[in-house]
Amino acid sequence: MRASLAIALLFAAGAFAFEEGGEWAGTELCQGCHEDIAKAFLKSNPHSSLDTNTRRGWQTRACEACHGSGVKHAESAEASLIRNPGKLAVALADKTCLSCHANQPSRSGRVMTGHARQQVSCVSCHPVHKKGPDPRTQCGSCHQGESLSFAKPHSHPVRQGAMSCADCHNPHGGVLSKAVSTFIGNEPGCLQCHGDKRGPFAYEHAPMRTEGCGACHEPHGSTNPRMLTRPSIAQSCLECHAGTGAGFGGVPPAFHDLRSPRYRNCTTCHMKIHGSHVSKALLR
Ligand code: HEC
Ligand code: HEC
Ligand code: HEC
Ligand code: HEC
Ligand code: HEC
Ligand code: HEC
Ligand code: HEC
Ligand code: HEC
Ligand code: HEC
Ligand code: HEC
């Protein structure tokens, strides 16, 4: 709200005046003074296609797609006469990028996350000219706690480089809270890799759909085998199957002697804990 107000005020104050008038310096002129940047840009930056693609409207003047008209700057070489997204307030810098990337049918271009709200701009993850490290490996520099969690004995192989935070989160935001791309019940995220838990099962274990995988697992890693939320399986199960509270699972029938170790390892018998095609009691 505040950010959009700030943008509106800046428009009113004419802060973007250099964009109007339709006069452009052109890439060649920029290249005359910024040789290294322009060379590297034209050689390997994905945005260099702007310089040649006639459908996007920036051919021969790709630099100005992000920097605004550089006519006055090119005459004077005065830094204050050109827009540098790296020095703008986050909301304004993001606006530069979103003029093309908003609402793309991909994962990008939405500003629904805490990232946008908390001043982490597009450019902090995607520097344009500096050859930045892969943004998928940079999450831990700010999220140290989450990153450390993956060092626990039972965890996803994120620290080994076999998968990344972005396999489960969309850093650009999404419809689910915590920018989780995949979670509750039978949504694609966890299931994109653990497809055998997808079903449909004739007898699905109810919390698979209602609370999702997180009812029993800690996706960021756990000291418990199978990344379970509790040290022993019985503890996990009895959170819902001890007969307290509404909407929970039923109490195990009386023949379950819960003091006996034999009965405490529930999944030795209830083997199809995620769902079964044949057994209502999830036994096989
Ligand atoms: C006549 C030489 C010249 C031309 C032509 C020129 N620049 Fe510059 N530009 C400079 C100089 C010199 C600086 C550094 C000014 C300073 O540090 O005070 C600069 C700085 C910049 C900056 C940094 C501004 C800041 O606030 O940090 C950007 C961005 C930039 N130029 C983009 C462009 C673009 C885009 C073009 C083409 C439209 C262009 N320049 C054309 C000489 C030029
Ligand atoms: C996709 C957007 C985009 C395009 C296209 C683009 N730039 Fe930039 N430019 C940026 C951003 C963002 C920064 C801030 C620093 C960074 O992230 O690399 C920047 C910074 C700069 C700077 C300041 C460098 C510094 O070290 O502070 C110069 C000079 C510059 N750009 C020149 C150019 C020239 C010349 C072109 C065309 C050949 C160009 N830019 C095309 C986004 C762009
Ligand atoms: C004038 C339109 C335009 C603007 C403004 C723009 N982009 Fe792009 N961006 C593109 C195009 C075109 C591509 C090439 C891929 C494609 O065709 O979608 C691209 C690709 C990218 C990619 C993908 C790179 C890859 O390796 O696949 C990233 C990341 C990106 N842009 C970030 C930014 C950021 C950050 C900004 C703001 C500083 C920005 N863009 C501004 C048009 C734009
Ligand atoms: C420059 C620092 C920085 C980097 C790098 C960074 N984050 Fe964040 N992240 C933040 C901040 C700040 C918040 C907001 C925290 C808050 O609201 O309490 C946040 C929030 C989040 C959230 C919570 C959900 C939300 O939308 O608020 C998730 C999930 C997240 N980041 C994932 C990631 C992933 C995945 C990456 C790597 C692709 C990443 N972050 C990289 C700073 C960063
Ligand atoms: C917290 C870090 C972070 C921020 C902030 C961020 N991105 Fe990304 N972005 C990523 C990561 C990581 C990927 C790679 C995702 C993947 O491989 O699944 C990516 C991929 C992309 C891509 C290429 C693939 C695609 O999904 O289209 C574009 C374009 C892009 N981002 C644009 C943007 C724009 C525009 C912004 C600002 C509105 C932005 N990003 C903000 C981390 C970030
Ligand atoms: C296997 C999937 C998975 C991976 C990999 C993963 N996360 Fe998460 N993350 C989740 C889920 C699911 C949640 C939501 C948990 C909840 O709602 O209790 C979450 C929550 C978060 C939150 C919000 C925490 C809060 O308390 O608000 C942040 C921040 C976050 N993850 C960052 C990261 C970072 C950084 C990485 C990489 C080091 C990462 N995640 C890797 C699945 C994953
Ligand atoms: C990008 C693929 C991918 C995604 C997405 C993913 N996982 Fe995994 N998962 C793996 C891999 C790889 C392993 C490690 C298998 C191994 O080491 O044997 C694993 C292991 C596990 C294990 C432990 C298995 C064991 O034997 O200890 C659990 C539980 C698990 N994942 C749950 C989840 C949950 C819950 C989510 C969603 C929040 C999720 N996974 C998302 C790839 C993924
Ligand atoms: C009601 C609790 C519960 C829920 C909900 C749950 N799991 Fe599990 N899961 C378990 C238990 C208990 C084990 C260990 C089984 C064992 O030791 O034999 C396990 C084991 C696993 C394993 C490793 C062994 C195997 O069968 O591959 C993976 C992977 C896994 N779960 C993924 C998921 C995913 C993905 C979801 C969500 C779609 C999910 N789980 C939801 C309780 C649950
Ligand atoms: C998050 C809560 C929750 C957890 C944790 C949980 N369950 Fe359930 N479980 C349920 C609910 C709800 C039902 C459906 C009860 C109903 O339909 O009457 C159910 C159904 C069952 C059923 C089938 C019973 C029936 O009446 O259809 C068995 C067997 C079962 N659970 C065993 C387990 C075991 C073993 C564990 C531990 C690995 C476990 N549950 C963990 C909530 C949970
Ligand atoms: C030695 C094997 C075994 C162990 C261990 C075991 N169960 Fe069972 N459980 C069964 C059998 C057999 C049934 C009855 C199935 C039937 O009536 O068709 C059953 C039934 C249930 C039911 C009711 C299912 C229904 O269809 O109404 C629940 C709930 C349940 N068990 C939970 C648990 C929990 C929680 C644990 C661990 C604390 C556990 N069980 C350990 C064998 C076992």
CA 48 – CA 42 distance, rounded (Å): 5
Position 12 scores a pLDDT of: 36
Which ligand is the nearest neighbour of the Cα of 203?
A: 9
**What integer pLDDT is reported at residue 94 of this predicted model?**
87
Number of Cβ atoms within 10 Å of the Cβ of 233 = 20
Give the pLDDT score at 191: 83
Q: Is residue 27 classed exposed, middle or buried when 0-12, 13-18 and 19+ CB atoms within 10 A define those classes?
A: buried
Cβ burial, residue 261 (10 Å; 0-12/13-18/19+): exposed
pLDDT tens for each residue of the chain, 284 residues long: 344 444 444 433 333 434 444 699 999 999 999 999 999 999 999 999 999 999 989 999 999 999 999 999 999 999 999 999 999 988 888 889 888 887 665 455 555 566 776 778 888 889 999 887 888 888 999 999 999 999 999 999 999 999 999 888 878 876 555 555 544 444 557 888 898 888 889 999 999 888 888 889 999 999 999 999 999 999 999 989 987 655 578 899 999 998 898 999 999 999 999 999 999 999 99
* pLDDT of the residue at 155: 97
* pLDDT score recorded for residue 186: 40
- What residues flank ligand 2, with Cβ below 6 Å? 27, 30, 34, 37-38, 41, 47, 62-63, 65-67, 84-86, 123, 127-130
- Residue matched to tokens 């002697």: 257
Count of CB atoms situated within 10 Å of the CB of 221: 19
CA atoms within 13 A on the CB side of 139: 22
pLDDT, residue 9, reads: 40
Residue appearing with tokens 């802060």: 15
Per-residue pLDDT at 56: 87
Distance CA 136, CA 115 (A): 14
Provide the pLDDT for residue 5. 40
Given this model, what pLDDT does residue 119 score? 77
Instruction: Give me the residue label for tokens 């993001």.
Output: 94
Give yes or no for a contact between 164 and 136, defined as CB atoms under 8 angstroms apart.
yes
Ligand 9 atom nearest the C-alpha of 239 is 5
pLDDT at 242: 86
d(CA 155, CA 177): 22
Residue-level pLDDT at 183: 44
Long-range contacts: 240-244, Cβ < 8 Å, 24+? 240/207, 240/215
Residue 220's CB: how many other CB atoms inside 10 A? Answer: 19
| Cα-to-centroid distance, 157 and ligand 3 (Å) | 30
Q: Give me the count of residues in the chain.
A: 284
Burial pattern 45-76, b for ≥16 Cβ within 10 A else e, equals: beebebbeeeeeebeebbbbbbbbbbbebbee
Distance from Cα 256 to the centre of ligand 10, integer Å: 7
User: Which residues are CB-contacts of 69 (< 8 A; sequence separation ≥ 6)?
Assistant: 18, 19, 21, 23, 24, 25
CA 175 to chain centre: 11
- Cβ within 8 Å of residue 1, ≥6 positions away: none
CA distance 249 to 74: 71
Q: What is the pLDDT of residue 81?
A: 96
Spell out which residues line ligand 10, taking CB within 6 angstroms: 234, 237-238, 241, 249-250, 252-253, 256, 258, 262-266, 268-270, 280-281
For residue 115, the ligand 5 atom closest to its alpha carbon is 5
198-217 residue pLDDT tens: 888 999 999 988 888 888 99
Which pLDDT score, from 0 to 100, does residue 22 have? Answer: 65
- Which residue is associated with the tokens 């199978």? 226
Residue pair 3/91 in contact (Cβ under 8 Å)? The answer is yes
Report how far residue 76's alpha carbon sits from residue 57's, in angstroms, rounded to the nearest whole number: 26
Residue nearest atom 41 of ligand 7, based on CA coordinates: 190
